[in-house]
A and B are shown apart, each in its own frame.
Chain A
């Protein structure tokens, strides 16, 4: 699953940070914003433009949990597993999501690249516990039953995120 990098897009990002190798983290963040993950082709490109080794960029990309080297789904669902959500049974929601979509802790994205399911430590929306986000849109007061509706709604386009 290798997307062809848009050099113009990458140059725009590099331009924004004035080709400063010290801004590599921000550059990778902006890149991930565009592709939802870090495609392999950005590594040699940034390496040649910034004068830092591919291994070093890869080192940074693997150090931070936030960077993904795997393509992500159209809808990234993050289930909150902070203390408040946890005690209100967020794990049941996560399991429901995984079983509906055929995912597991090691397989986070569906083969049709529609859904990615992850956990997050706390969304800061404890009043709405248990919560999850779909592409950064917060959905509160969730339950395993509502998960089914959510997935169907997303697939059919009746819920937008």
Chain B
């Protein structure tokens, strides 16, 4: 059988269905530089960094050229090196060059490529404007001064998330990425998912930081700091602090937080167990009444904002359950109500939209939020670095009492399909481990954007859909509206892949995301409690703190605002 080859730097490389030369060249072990290429986004071909030379001395952008048999290309010629250096110099000529004070310092693609191509001097006068920060959003901060117009954020916002809050404005030298009428992001239709920040190669879009406020609370002796850590965070730190990507680092995180001065550390998975209980009840109620089906999950705050801004008519279908973070937040505040010290609840999340959620009026009592600060995984890493703790040498510590138990069902909330699997575990009458395994292989697992499964509940066969990525959610909504399809239960996570791929997590590639998901399923295996209803903490909460107050503490009505 003959195969088709492309000669890359005099080495034959087989064409195996690659969409473009770029992936073929990278397969051959050559890291072509790019700013504007992301495999999950459409090809834009704007940055021109991935140019290659053909045998006639012509230049082609590898990202937008399909491989053809017999092609002869070169990736590292004097002409190309000169060309790439020139692009970098020109980009730097109107770019803020204060790398040391940039949020993206050390993780900036522009900085990395400037270093890689040995840019030691920029021959052009710096024409950068004064910075115009848009810090109106509680989730992200935009600095147009650091934008290189690669358009990654624009395509992410439009294509993957179907939000379209930002686009290119004006043209030529005046071109910027902005909102319609340049309104502050907080007033736009942005849902706060932060995926734009996750693909931004420079510091033009970054996560809003709250580390100073948290340090202040940690150092204040009169304040009791209670921390809850989301499931996805434990598998997000690896690869950053000298640990393996996707490794469950919960024990070390607890130890680090204790060293930094946290008084109590809990696992948001415990909050997730409460969510499973409430959401399963709600689902059963709706199945019996037949009203407001399908039931959409409500854990994801970016999804909630998407519904509010784009599909307010679907709000009655969204579960009234608060997110695990908010459920646990109100429980923690209630528990500490009579404490002599002021209690500050800090939530460590893989998510930028959680910052918005924490600031919502619905989640405040007498003006005081249930969650005082939300830190992203990125910020946690920053704090650990700042504290000087040798993370890899930390001895793991257990989470605190009285909320020291969680179920595996709560832990898998952090990955797409996890909420559904947890709810199915609760609904299934068969509580054997064989049944647990069959649920896991029922189509709920995997990183695909749309998964479908059916579950037997009594006489009924329930149709369930799991979507991640808001464009996938939109497609599903449209298919349901047209009557093409019908579901009883729909899990929606705004970030493709679920919370493990949240914008608050350190940036990683597809492989890294998969490892994080696998890390959570491994953590589930290590949990002696598999189902939320078996968690003794949940049981005691229902018979004590939550008695008669389930609705007040665990539910929310987004339609009416404050309850």
Q: How large is the interface on B (under 10, 10 to 19, 20 to 34, 35 or more residues)?
A: 10 to 19
Q: Are B181 and A56 closer than 8 Å at their CB atoms?
A: no
Give A127 to B166 CA distance when docked, in angstroms.
Answer: 46
Q: Are A55 and B170 closer than 8 Å at their CB atoms?
A: no
Q: Which residues of chain B from 161 to 176 have a CB within 8 Å of any chain A CB?
A: 163-171
Shortest Cβ distance from residue A136 to the other chain B in the assembled complex, whole angstroms: 25
Known: A40-B181, A43-B180. A55 touches B171 (CB 8 A): no
List 26 A-B residue pairs with CB atoms under 8 Å apart, sorted by A's residue number.
Answer: A40-B181, A43-B181, A53-B158, A53-B163, A53-B164, A53-B165, A53-B167, A53-B189, A54-B164, A54-B189, A55-B165, A55-B166, A55-B180, A56-B158, A56-B164, A57-B180, A58-B169, A58-B180, A58-B181, A59-B167, A59-B169, A62-B169, A62-B171, A63-B168, A63-B170, A63-B171
Which residues on the A side are within 8 Å of B189 (C-beta)? 53-54
Q: Are A59 and B168 closer than 8 Å at their CB atoms?
A: yes
Which residues on the B side are within 8 Å of A52 (C-beta)? 164
- Total inter-chain residue pairs, C-beta < 8 Å: 39
Q: Interface residues of B: mostly helix, strand, loop or mixed?
A: loop
Q: A52-B164, A55-B180 are in contact. List 18 more A-B contacts (CB 8 A).
A: A40-B181, A43-B180, A43-B181, A53-B158, A53-B163, A53-B164, A53-B165, A54-B180, A55-B165, A55-B167, A55-B179, A55-B188, A56-B164, A57-B180, A58-B181, A62-B169, A62-B171, A63-B168
Which residues on the B side are within 8 Å of A63 (C-beta)? 168, 170-171
Per-residue contact bits, chain A 52-79, to B (CB 8 Å; 1 contact, 0 not): 1111111100110000000000000000
Closest residue to B166 on the A side, CB-wise? A55
Residues of chain A touching chain B, judged by Cβ–Cβ distance below 8 Å, are: 40, 43, 52-59, 62-63
Q: Interface residues of A: mostly helix, strand, loop or mixed?
A: helix
Which residues on the B side are within 8 Å of A58 (C-beta)? 167, 169, 180-181
Which residues on the B side are within 8 Å of A40 (C-beta)? 181
Which residues on the B side are within 8 Å of A54 (C-beta)? 164, 180, 189
Per-residue contact bits, chain B 427-453, to A (CB 8 Å; 1 contact, 0 not): 000000000000000000000000000
Q: Which of A40, A43, A55, A58 has the most CB of B within 10 A?
A: A55
Shortest Cβ distance from residue B42 to the other chain A in the assembled complex, whole angstroms: 14
Give A148 to B521 CA distance when docked, in angstroms.
Answer: 81
Give A43 to B167 CA distance when docked, in angstroms.
Answer: 14
Closest residue to B164 on the A side, CB-wise? A53
Closest residue to A48 on the B side, CB-wise? B310
Q: Which of A40, A43, A53 has the most CB of B within 10 A?
A: A53
Shortest Cβ distance from residue A44 to the other chain B in the assembled complex, whole angstroms: 9
Which residues on the B side are within 8 Å of A43 (C-beta)? 180-181
